[in-house]
């Protein structure tokens, strides 16, 4: 029998084990793949040997960590040791606090927490959910399979000779996501394939080439294919693989422009997928440049690199006769030409002529019989094209081709192999393990399909029918090629159908997807369809259509045009960098007329500005002047100001820009565009942006409630960052609030500079917003880095020591919250920032709460009514309902105030065990539960802020013996806090007995705890307060007290064994030489460590530096 999961457990807790096994088998579907020793060891078999054999074959060991297991851990530790030696992942499932750390011997491994009630799990749904996230081995195995797929894909796409063998590295960013864009055939896929092939040398990297259905259907499909229930489970598993096992993932999305638009016309799901891939691993995207710029630019935080044409010398080195053939600078055509150079006397210099020659050149390889191999290849190509048209997809199952053709199996195989030898066809197993074929490049596929349509008996009807399905995978690309190949009549028929599609673009997602497909075609083929664009724009305006069929007659080429169609048709001009002056006499008058006919004028202004002529300058200046006079459409002046910057300057043009810039009724961003244009045209200085303008520019919603132009928001966020960084100016809280608001923008390229700009503000709300960014579920690498850098800059500017420590508290608290959410990378980064070169003691688990004063503090205490617990904390505690805490046996105390450095004043108020324990249990279960105040700002408890929490006053005592040893005690598994942790040396809560005499109650509590837990006495003068602290996991204040008894370590140990009243509170007592303390604590056997022990050790070391003799 083959096992996947080995369950390591204590037979003293069989009920919990049975429930865990039931979840694995029944809820998670592992069934017989779960090994449990009492069920799966046959009679007569040597037990230990069988266990070792079982462990050797599993993928993961699940450690059921209970207090019962810690009481008799020998066999469990043997199983853990066996798994560790074999490199098998171990997942601790902790039912009793810190049991996993005791059984594993360290506290570095992330564990699954699950509550228990007796011998049962009290949260089966939560246990199921957390196990589902943690069990990564199936995902790991699937990543191995996908890596093999990606490697095979790379091998198929790297041709020999490769034009990119020595230059592909310049196109891939190793430190972040990369979008490789360029025209069709420019070599984008080959460059990505080179990177995948190179990545094979990294044994810890899995390359995953996304399947088309994963890109089209989004995150849930990808998660399912990687054996995860949903995207959040997949994210957690990828994090676990990266942070615990060093396994990284590089995702490749090849041909983003080929993804069908049907299910996601606005591309929101695709953008979400790309952001997820970026945050979960590395990312390489290839995409045609026009599609990227019109659809994805600004939405995804990637480095964008454009593939350039091959230089002439490289072309000549491969094909000397092609020096003057510019088509050969495109890798696809050069590659195909090299293999045919011996047969072709001349090489066509246009893509259409090249494709015609290529498909006409399929040679008769079988002799003079009619059913020759050449004819079979031509037949196969035709059938393939027909099936691709029928399905509007590139890959077609080979069985479909066999059924649709008249070729027998041997003939079909011969034709397939012949086309593969010609480097025209590729054959592969699809993600569904189906053998498919397609041509070797999407341009070849599209030409073949378009040529079949063009030559068909009903080409116009077939072309129109393609328009009605153009939202599918290769729809728009085939239409684009059909425009290239067609004659005027076919183009007119297609354009008429394009207008129908655009008329209906508001009628649902399918129509919107079709409209985007048509827009891609118009932009890619703008030079070819320009006469039809102009003719369409001449049409008379008619009312928009309605979904129920009522309304106007719709658009008809050269006759009528709706607003919906007009704007999209005009957007074709955006594909032109500069319009051809020879077209100006035909184009400009039509665009001028459109300015006065259409409500939405922006696209027409942008189109006119592509033609830098005196006539265009006159038209735009006249139009702008009239608009300023009538005040009827001031919004269009933004497009006008941007367009005028592209033209030659004239006095009239400059005068109009000056009027726009000075008009207070024009919005601030438009006026700024006018300033930009004036600066570009005649070099005049731009005025400083005032606060009103900046806030307006940072708005994420426009006046219609839609997302504002992302590039505008990015510009203003960058401006604030740059100006503040170089010290030219400071900005008000209102600007800070506007930047925080811009972090909610959907475009990643807005959030990066906004996070960077917030690093220039010292207002707490800027810090809080950055912490919130770091705790978002989807966190692209660039935003994480920008937010961390901004926090560091904020922190570095703080000179007040108390304020710096308060900032450190926020970082550590956010780190704890991130860790609980599984964001270990963010948690580690925040801890690193908080603990870097502190003047006060700061550790991951605790930090000093008041200023140190050379090694010890002078502590005064008063008891008063004091301020009550903050009202919002009380409200949230009340909303939690019942939390079992146990009885209130004595009066406890909490901090109401804590002030000072060397002279510390503490105000305490009475409280109860249940009040403090209820709060602590809630915080431990979910640190984010109380992380924010009602106004959204982060919690800042006293003494760092004003928030009062229902904690308990406690002493964290460290014992230095007469023989200069530090006592370390392992806390019992029965204590309420940190069971089984090693403490340096013990903790004691204050109660009413500590206030019965003149002695400081904290020192009295320390001495009392020493007596009760160790059976030892220490004099009042031998109790020294060293510092105060905040314990991060409980959000609890305490005082560190050093005890200097006249006892050796051995004597204390003996008293603990023989005299201690509460000896049950410690499970073991040992000691370390003080000189070895900082190196030895936290290492075997002193793990796991109580979270304040490291701070206590550092406080002791600091005191010893002041008083080396320890007197």
Question: In this structure, which long-range contacts are made by residues 117-124, counting pairs with CB atoms below 8 Å and at least 24 apart in sequence?
Answer: 118/15, 119/13, 119/14, 119/15, 119/16, 120/15, 120/16, 120/19, 121/16, 121/19, 121/20, 121/95, 124/19, 124/23
With 0-12 / 13-18 / 19 or more C-beta atoms within 10 angstroms meaning exposed / middle / buried, residue 692 is exposed
Q: What is d(CA 274, CA 268) in angstroms, rounded to the nearest whole number?
A: 10
The bridge status of strand 1023-1031 relative to strand 846-848 is antiparallel
Average pLDDT, stretch 355-377? Answer: 70
CATH code for position 262: 3.40.50.300
Average pLDDT, stretch 25-29? Answer: 82
Domain shared by 1058 and 1008, yes or no: yes
Residue 590 belongs to a domain: yes
**Which pLDDT does position 47 carry in this prediction?**
62
Average pLDDT, stretch 1072-1093? Answer: 79
Domain shared by 748 and 643, yes or no: no
Query: Which of 27-31, 478-482, 687-691 is the least confident region?
Result: 27-31
When comparing pLDDT for 413 and 1082, which is higher? 413
| Domain boundary pick from 101, 135, 169 | 135
Residue 437 belongs to a domain: no
User: 38 is written with which tokens?
Assistant: 């009492």
Which of 497, 578, 582 has its CA nearest to residue 532? 497
Domain shared by 37 and 183, yes or no: no
Q: What percent of the chain has pLDDT over 70?
A: 95
Q: What is d(CA 29, CA 513) in angstroms, rounded to the nearest whole number?
A: 39
Residue 937 belongs to a domain: no
Its domain, for residue 261, covers: 138-308
Domain shared by 191 and 222, yes or no: yes
Query: Is 132 in contact with 233 (CB distance < 8 Å)?
Result: yes
Average pLDDT, stretch 1084-1107? Answer: 87
CATH code for position 722: 1.25.10
| Domain boundary pick from 915, 930, 945 | 930
Average pLDDT, stretch 1051-1073? Answer: 85
Query: Is 444 in contact with 355 (CB distance < 8 Å)?
Result: yes
Residue 1073 belongs to a domain: yes
Q: What is d(CA 97, CA 1034) in angstroms, rounded to the nearest whole number?
A: 14
SS3 292: helix
**Which pLDDT does position 369 carry in this prediction?**
44
Q: 3-state SS string over 823-876?
A: CHHHHHHHHHHHHCCCCCCECCCEEECCCCCCCCCEEEEEECCCCCCCHHHHHH
Q: What percent of the chain has pLDDT over 90?
A: 58
Mean pLDDT score of the chain: 88
Query: Which of 88-102, 197-211, 615-629, 854-868 is the least confident region?
Result: 854-868
Beta strands in 888-1047 (DSSP E): 892-899, 903-911, 954-959, 965-971, 982-983, 986-989, 1023-1031, 1036-1043
Q: How many CB atoms lie within 10 A of CB 682?
A: 10
User: 591 is written with which tokens?
Assistant: 């665009």
User: 243 is written with which tokens?
Assistant: 């942070």
Q: What is d(CA 762, CA 735) in angstroms, rounded to the nearest whole number?
A: 12
With 0-12 / 13-18 / 19 or more C-beta atoms within 10 angstroms meaning exposed / middle / buried, residue 820 is middle
Domain shared by 129 and 148, yes or no: no
**Which pLDDT does position 1089 carry in this prediction?**
83
User: 681 is written with which tokens?
Assistant: 């045209």
**Which pLDDT does position 602 carry in this prediction?**
92
Residue 1020 belongs to a domain: yes
Query: Is 177 in contact with 301 (CB distance < 8 Å)?
Result: yes
**Which residues, 6+ apart, have CB-to-CB distance to 599 below 8 Å?**
563
1111 pLDDT above the threshold of 60: no
Helices of type H across 30-115: 37-40, 47-57, 67-71, 74-85, 99-104
pLDDT digits (tens, 9 = 90+) for 974-1008: 776 777 788 998 999 999 999 977 889 999 999 99
pLDDT digits (tens, 9 = 90+) for 865-914: 778 899 999 999 999 877 777 788 899 999 999 988 668 899 999 999 99
Q: How confident is the model at residue 45 (pLDDT cuts 50, 70, 90)?
A: very low
With 0-12 / 13-18 / 19 or more C-beta atoms within 10 angstroms meaning exposed / middle / buried, residue 269 is middle
Q: How confident is the model at residue 366 (pLDDT cuts 50, 70, 90)?
A: very low
1036 pLDDT above the threshold of 70: yes
Angle value at C-alpha 1048, between 1047 and 1054, nearest 5 degrees:
90
Residue 899 belongs to a domain: yes
When comparing pLDDT for 61 and 1060, which is higher? 61
The dihedral through the CA atoms of 208, 210, 215, 219 has a sign that is negative
Domain shared by 764 and 783, yes or no: yes
Domain shared by 651 and 725, yes or no: no
Q: What is d(CA 281, CA 234) in angstroms, rounded to the nearest whole number?
A: 12
Domain shared by 563 and 671, yes or no: yes
Domain shared by 627 and 646, yes or no: yes
Domain shared by 705 and 679, yes or no: no
SS3 1027: strand
What is the number of structural domains in the chain? 6
| Domain boundary pick from 308, 339, 359 | 308
Domain shared by 130 and 150, yes or no: no
928 pLDDT above the threshold of 80: yes
Q: How confident is the model at residue 236 (pLDDT cuts 50, 70, 90)?
A: confident
Q: What is the DSSP letter of 707?
A: B
Q: What is d(CA 174, CA 151) in angstroms, rounded to the nearest whole number?
A: 18
Residue 853 belongs to a domain: no
CA distances from 211 to 254, 320, 666, 947 (A): 9, 39, 49, 52
- Please give the model's pTM, rounded to 2 decimal places: 0.74
Q: What is d(CA 616, CA 1048) in angstroms, rounded to the nearest whole number?
A: 96
Q: What is d(CA 949, CA 1038) in angstroms, rounded to the nearest whole number?
A: 13
Domain shared by 84 and 161, yes or no: no
Residue 848 belongs to a domain: no
Q: What is d(CA 969, CA 986) in angstroms, rounded to the nearest whole number?
A: 7
CA distances from 186 to 104, 178, 284, 333 (A): 54, 16, 16, 9
Q: What is d(CA 92, CA 84) in angstroms, rounded to the nearest whole number?
A: 13
With 0-12 / 13-18 / 19 or more C-beta atoms within 10 angstroms meaning exposed / middle / buried, residue 1070 is middle
**Which residues, 6+ apart, have CB-to-CB distance to 777 below 8 Å?**
232, 235
CATH code for position 112: 3.40.50.10140
Report the DSSP beta bridge partners of residue 1030.
847, 1037
363 pLDDT above the threshold of 70: no
pLDDT digits (tens, 9 = 90+) for 944-963: 999 999 999 999 999 999 99
């Amino acid at each position: 029998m083959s096992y996947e999961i080995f369950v390591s457990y204590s037979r003293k807790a069989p009920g919990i084990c049975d429930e865990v096994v039931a979840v694995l088998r029944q809820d998670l579907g592992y069934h017989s793949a779960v090994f449990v020793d009492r069920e799966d060891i046959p009679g007569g078999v040597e037990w230990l040997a069988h266990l070792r054999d079982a462990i050797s074959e599993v993928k993961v060991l699940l450690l059921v960590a209970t207090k019962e297991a810690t009481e008799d851990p020998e066999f469990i530790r043997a199983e853990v040791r066996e798994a560790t030696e074999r490199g098998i992942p171990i997942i601790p499932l902790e039912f009793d606090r810190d049991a996993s750390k005791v059984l594993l011997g360290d506290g570095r491994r992330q564990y699954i927490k699950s509550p228990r009630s007796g011998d049962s799990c009290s949260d089966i749904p939560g246990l199921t959910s957390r196990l589902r996230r943690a069990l990564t081995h199936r995902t790991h195995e699937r990543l191995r399979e996908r890596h093999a797929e990606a490697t095979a894909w790379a091998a198929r796409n790297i041709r020999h000779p490769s034009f990119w063998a020595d230059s592909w590295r310049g196109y891939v960013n190793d430190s972040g996501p990369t979008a490789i864009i360029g025209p069709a055939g420019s070599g984008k896929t080959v460059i990505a394939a080179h990177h995948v092939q190179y990545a094979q040398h990294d044994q810890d990297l899995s390359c995953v080439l996304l399947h088309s259905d994963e890109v089209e259907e989004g995150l849930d499909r990808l998660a399912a294919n990687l054996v995860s229930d949903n995207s959040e489970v997949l994210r957690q598993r990828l994090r676990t693989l990266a942070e615990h096992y060093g396994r990284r993932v590089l995702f490749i999305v090849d041909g983003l422009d080929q993804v069908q638009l049907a299910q996601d016309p606005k591309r929101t799901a695709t953008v979400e997928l790309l952001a997820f891939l970026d945050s979960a691993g590395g990312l390489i995207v290839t995409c045609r440049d026009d599609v990227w710029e019109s659809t994805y630019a600004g939405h995804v935080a990637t480095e964008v690199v454009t593939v350039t044409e091959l230089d002439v010398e490289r072309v000549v080195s491969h094909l000397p006769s092609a020096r003057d053939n510019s088509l050969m600078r495109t890798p696809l055509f050069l590659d195909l030409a090299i293999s045919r150079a011996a047969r072709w006397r001349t090489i066509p210099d246009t893509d259409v002529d090249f494709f015609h020659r290529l498909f006409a050149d399929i040679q008769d390889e079988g002799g003079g019989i009619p059913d020759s191999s050449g004819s079979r290849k031509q037949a196969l190509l035709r059938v393939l094209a027909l099936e691709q048209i029928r399905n509007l997809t590139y890959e077609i199952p080979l069985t479909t081709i066999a059924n649709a053709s008249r070729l027998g199996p041997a003939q079909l195989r011969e034709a397939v192999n012949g086309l593969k030898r010609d480097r025209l066809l590729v054959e592969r197993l699809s993600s569904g393990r189906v053998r498919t074929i397609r041509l070797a490049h999407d341009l070849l596929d599209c030409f073949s399909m378009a040529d079949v349509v063009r030559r068909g008996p009903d080409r116009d009807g077939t072309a129109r029918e393609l328009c009605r399905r153009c939202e599918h995978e290769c729809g728009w690309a085939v239409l684009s090629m059909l425009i290239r190949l067609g004659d005027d009549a076919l183009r007119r028929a297609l354009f008429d159908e394009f207008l129908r599609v655009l008329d209906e673009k508001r009628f649902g997602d399918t129509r919107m997807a079709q409209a985007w497909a048509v827009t891609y075609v118009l932009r890619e083929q703008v030079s070819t369809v320009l006469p039809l664009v102009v003719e369409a724009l001449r049409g008379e305006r008619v009312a928009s259509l309605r979904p129920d069929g009522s309304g106007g007659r719709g658009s008809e080429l050269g006759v009528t045009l709706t607003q919906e169609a007009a704007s999209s048709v005009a957007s074709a001009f955006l594909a032109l960098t500069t319009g051809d002056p020879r077209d100006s006499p035909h184009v400009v008058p039509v665009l001028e007329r459109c300015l006065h006919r259409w409500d939405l004028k922006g696209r027409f202004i942008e189109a006119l500005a592509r033609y830098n002529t005196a006539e265009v300058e006159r038209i735009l200046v006249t139009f702008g002047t009239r608009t300023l006079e009538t005040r009827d459409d001031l919004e269009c002046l933004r497009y006008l100001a941007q367009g005028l910057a592209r033209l030659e300057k004239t006095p009239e043009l400059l005068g109009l820009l000056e009027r726009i810039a000075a008009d207070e009724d024009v919005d601030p961003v438009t006026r700024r565009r006018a300033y930009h244009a004036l600066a570009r045209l005649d070099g005049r200085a731009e005025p400083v942006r005032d606060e009103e303008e900046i806030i307006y520019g940072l708005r994420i919603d426009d006046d219609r409630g839609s997302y504002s132009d992302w590039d505008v928001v990015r510009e203003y966020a960058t401006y604030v960052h740059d100006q503040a960084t170089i010290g030219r100016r400071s900005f008000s809280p209102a600007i800070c609030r506007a930047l925080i608001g811009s972090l909610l923008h959907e475009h990643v390229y807005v959030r990066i500079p906004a996070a960077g700009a917030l690093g220039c503000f010292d207002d707490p709300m800027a810090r809080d917003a950055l912490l919130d960014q770091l705790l978002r579920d989807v966190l692209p690498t660039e935003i994480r880095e920008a937010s961390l850098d901004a926090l560091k800059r904020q922190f570095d500017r703080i000179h007040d020591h108390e304020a710096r420590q308060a900032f450190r508290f926020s970082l550590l608290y956010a780190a704890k919250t991130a860790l609980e959410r599984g964001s270990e990378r963010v948690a580690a980064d925040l801890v690193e920032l908080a603990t870097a070169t502190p003047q006060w003691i700061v550790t991951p688990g605790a930090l000093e709460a008041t200023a140190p004063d050379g090694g010890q503090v002078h502590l005064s205490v008063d008891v008063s009514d004091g301020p009550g617990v903050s009202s919002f904390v009380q409200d949230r505690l009340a909303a939690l309902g019942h939390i079992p805490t146990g009885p209130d046996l004595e009066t406890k105390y909490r901090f109401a105030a804590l002030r000072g450095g060397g002279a510390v004043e503490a105000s305490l108020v009475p409280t109860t065990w249940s009040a403090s324990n209820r709060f602590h249990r809630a915080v431990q279960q979910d640190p984010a539960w109380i992380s924010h105040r009602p106004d959204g700002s982060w919690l800042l408890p006293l003494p760092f802020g004003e928030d009062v929490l229902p904690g308990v006053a406690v002493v964290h005592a460290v014992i230095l013996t007469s023989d200069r040893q530090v006592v370390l005690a392992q806390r019992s598994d029965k204590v309420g806090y940190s069971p089984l942790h090693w403490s340096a040396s013990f903790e004691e809560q204050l109660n009413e007995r500590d206030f019965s005499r003149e002695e400081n109650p904290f020192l009295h509590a320390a001495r009392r705890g020493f007596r009760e837990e160790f059976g030892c006495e220490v004099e009042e003068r031998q109790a020294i307060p060293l510092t105060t602290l905040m314990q991060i996991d409980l959000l609890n204040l305490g005082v560190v007290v050093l005890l200097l008894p006249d006892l050796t370590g051995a004597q204390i140990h003996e008293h603990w064994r023989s005299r201690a009243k509460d000896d049950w509170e410690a499970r073991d007592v040992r000691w370390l030489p003080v000189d070895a303390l900082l190196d030895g604590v936290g290492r075997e056997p002193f793990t796991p460590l109580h979270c304040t022990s490291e701070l206590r050790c550092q406080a002791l070391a600091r005191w010893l530096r002041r008083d080396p003799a320890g007197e």
